[in-house]
Structure 1
């Protein structure tokens, strides 16, 4: 079983990373939880991929905050929720005349924003 665990964790990490990247542009799909899941998968399966995520200019600081403090900064939370709000508003406009799609979008955006808001906030040292 151990022989199959490392490749499965790498695949799971890559899938989570892909969802995190999609979460940057899709309303209601949070980036941070998928990014943290990818980091956890890579930490257990591929030190090289874990190091690459830590060195990433965009994602590295978020991951470092999580690994050191088990929290994310209020700035990251505000950017994430603000991005969801903007993308959701644009999508609501695109779905004009389809109230069931608009309602679903609003529900997903609220769930995503609530999830991100509930992640512990890093206090300044």
Structure 2
């Protein structure tokens, strides 16, 4: 792999990790999806960084559950559903264009349904 390509993967991994870290403190900012992107990019650019994320006590279990089982822990499902519900409420009160409002609400509702129907990790049951 060229040094430039490796650098780009590492940059994507660090940016994604930082955004995921911000998501821990900002309710409407996702965490897990950014951590998954960070692990994917780090696996290509810095396997040591990817391993560190997988072994991290806060972020690792959700990443490992998704990679191994395509599973989402119950608490993450409920948190995601709650945040999607808040987002739908905000959209319904702030977006003026009806077709856009409906499209966004339907999209978020479908995303919520998809998240809630994912299995839970075997260790979390």
Match of 1:25 among 28, 35, 40: 28
Contact 2:81–2:112 (8 Å) recurs in 1: yes
1:121 aligns with 2:120: yes
Corresponding position of 1:5: 5
Contact 1:12–1:38 (8 Å) recurs in 2: yes
Corresponding position of 1:104: 103
Corresponding position of 2:80: 80
Q: Deviations over 1:74-107 (max 9, x none)?
A: 2212211221112221232222x43233113213
TM-score (norm 2): 0.65
- Residue 25 of structure 1 aligns to a residue whose secondary structure is coil
User: Higher relative contact order by CA 8 Å / sep ≥ 6: 1 or 2?
Assistant: 1
Flag the 1:66–1:109 CA change in 2: closer, same or farther, 3 A. same
Alignment gaps of 5+ in structure 1? none
Count of residue pairs brought into register by the alignment: 119
Flag the 1:54–1:101 CA change in 2: closer, same or farther, 3 A. farther
Flag the 1:53–1:25 CA change in 2: closer, same or farther, 3 A. farther
1:37 aligns with 2:37: yes
Alignment gaps of 5+ in structure 2? none
Corresponding position of 1:89: 89
TM-score (norm 1): 0.65
Distance 1:62 1:51 in 2: 14
